[in-house]
Structure 1
Amino acid sequence: MTSTSPDSAILPTLSEQVNASIPCDHVLLITLNRPRSLNAMTPQMEDDLRKLLNWYEEEPSLWAVVVTGEGRAFCAGADLKAWNNDHLSGSKDEQEAILASVHGFGSLSRRVSSKPIIAAVNGGAYGGGVEILLNCDLVIASQDAVFALPEVKRGVIAAQGGIPRLRNACGHQRASEMLLLGRNVSAEEAAQHFGFVNTVVPKQNVLQTALDWAQQIVQNSPDAVQSTKRALVLAGQHGSIEQATQVHARTVESKRAYKGENIQEGLRAFSEKRKPCWTNPAKL
């Protein structure tokens, strides 16, 4: 299906808090690896994720990423012990930290990427863990998954992009239900009423389903996929359809999609009634 293998991709060096692998061609798998702490985010974990995701963005042979958590939770949000220590010591100004956090919670909740990000939610997702999910393109959840934005119960705020994204997903009143009550939401509710889960599957099928969806994505032209993803991002940033369409037409992803080799290969393959043989996108 593809002519370029990612075998030459060398994974960055990470701590034991994050695992990474390439389980199939062009797909990166990231696993949060603090199961005893329900994968609560630490500064070290966030640093690992920043390093890994920045590398993913620049690696031409990787076309999709799956993010999951080890153990019985996806991510329990911030490690409140570490956060509390910083807050009590006065060593951290939270408002300034939010403004300076270019990619948001876990280097994911506000990351602007033209590559697809898939979440495989194997259990609970709370606080920042939900903020991460709200910025993923596809979310596969286990039947027993639970979601909550309980920040108001702790005197804090879902301030890393979660509030506007949830409102965009389900409207003001539904978003208020999660944000102001801080209550738990089931996987079925998240899918049917709040709209940020794509599908709910048995727990043993979560990761494989996410990898299957990633493999379906990488069967398509990576140039076309990444330009389409950029258009989706721009649609959320601009107020009108016309403005978003015009801005997208001028993007480097759009230029690459129309001027690159893959569009020519796709059209040739269609006329020759064969599967296309995609190549890695040129670096932008």
Structure 2
Amino acid sequence: MIDVEVRGHTALITINRPEARNAVNAAVASGIEEAIDRVEGDDDIWISVLAGAGPVFCAGADLKEIASGNAGGLNTSRGGFAGIVSRERTKPVIAAVDGPALAGGTEIVLACDLVVASRSARFGVPEVKRSLVAAAGGLFRLAQKLPQNVATELVLTGDPIEAERAHHFGLVNVLCDDGSALDTAMELAGRIEANAPLAVRESLGVMKESRGADDATGFRLSGEAFARLVNTEDYAEGPRAFIEKRAPEWKGR
């Protein structure tokens, strides 16, 4: 159900259940969590791209599983829904979205750090249409990524937002042609991979921890992150490569 392929320092994680529109069942949830565990535990993997096989990124929760009384299996103890929406992690994840990502599919996307989407992509939380609540992060993360009124419109109507409008408002980082989301996401991953991995990790961590905090907290977290880098090999390599006018050779340590 979940395929993992490592390309350079990037892990490609693919939800491979196209016959069910990549809907999340217990196998998908545990598979995504295991893939993130692998990424987080491997010093040679610096970033990951999360994609869906087939014409749909993810249709959300598998309703057949829910109807069978297996709703609890769609969550993991550490990752929550789909093994990712509440998972603590240090390395960036890029969502590569070709086609619709609705309900829990949108909530998976919102749990990622960056989003690449094709023009046919759509995002939305239609739960209110079925007397449900989007309980996997959509209700508060949409308002973090979109203007408050736009997020409220999506939540209360249950109607989706098209990729171009989502890109306009900043939910989508890169908009691309249909069928090219994965390649475009891998290109974005390559741009990040060219940077010092520990510095990327620390910078992302500060951004997450300081969200909504005051300036004093932000400065403190930034200083602590900088201090953790000072004694690393990469900290010495960056200035040295600049002086020697060559590309740096990052070790991730």
Q: CA deviation at 1:261?
A: 0.5
Which whole-Å CA distance do the structure 2 matches of 1:50 and 1:113 have between them?
11
- After TM superposition, the score normalised by the length of structure 2 is 0.93
Structure 2 partner of 1:48? 31
State the identity %: 35
Secondary structure (helix, strand or coil) at the match of 1:250 reads helix
Which whole-Å CA distance do the structure 1 matches of 2:252 and 2:66 have between them?
41
CA contact (8 A) 1:42 1:82 kept: yes
The answer to whether structure 1 residue 269 and structure 2 residue 241 are counterparts is: yes
Letter in 1 for 2:248: P
CA contact (8 A) 1:139 1:198 kept: yes
Which whole-Å CA distance do the structure 2 matches of 1:83 and 1:276 have between them?
50
CA contact (8 A) 1:223 1:256 kept: no
CA contact (8 A) 1:72 1:123 kept: yes
What is the aligned counterpart of 2:154 among 155, 159, 178?
A: 178
Letter in 2 for 1:211: M
Query: Structure 1 residues 84 and 241, CA, compared in 2 at 3 Å: closer, same or farther?
Result: farther
Which whole-Å CA distance do the structure 1 matches of 2:33 and 2:131 have between them?
27
- After TM superposition, the score normalised by the length of structure 1 is 0.84
Letter in 2 for 1:117: V
Letter in 2 for 1:108: I
Where relative contact order (Cα < 8 A, 6+ residues apart) is larger, the structure is 1
Superposed CA offset, 1:231-261 (max 9, x none): 111122x42132133134335xx44422200
Runs of at least 5 residues in structure 1 that lack an aligned partner in the other structure: 1-16
Runs of at least 5 residues in structure 2 that lack an aligned partner in the other structure: none
Which whole-Å CA distance do the structure 2 matches of 1:133 and 1:176 have between them?
18
Secondary structure (helix, strand or coil) at the match of 1:74 reads coil
Question: How many residue pairs align between the two structures?
Answer: 253
- Superposed, which structure 2 residues align to 1:127-146 within 5 Å? 127-146=103-122
CA contact (8 A) 2:196 2:252 kept: no
Q: CA deviation at 1:133?
A: 1.0
RMSD of Structure 2 on Structure 1 (CA): 2.0
The answer to whether structure 1 residue 80 and structure 2 residue 55 are counterparts is: no
Which whole-Å CA distance do the structure 1 matches of 2:222 and 2:77 have between them?
25
Which whole-Å CA distance do the structure 2 matches of 1:45 and 1:109 have between them?
13
Which whole-Å CA distance do the structure 2 matches of 1:134 and 1:205 have between them?
20
Q: CA deviation at 1:101?
A: 4.4
Q: Which moved more, 1:203-212 or 1:71-80?
A: 203-212
- Superposed, which structure 2 residues align to 1:197-216 within 5 Å? 197-216=172-191
Letter in 2 for 1:19: D
The answer to whether structure 1 residue 249 and structure 2 residue 233 are counterparts is: no
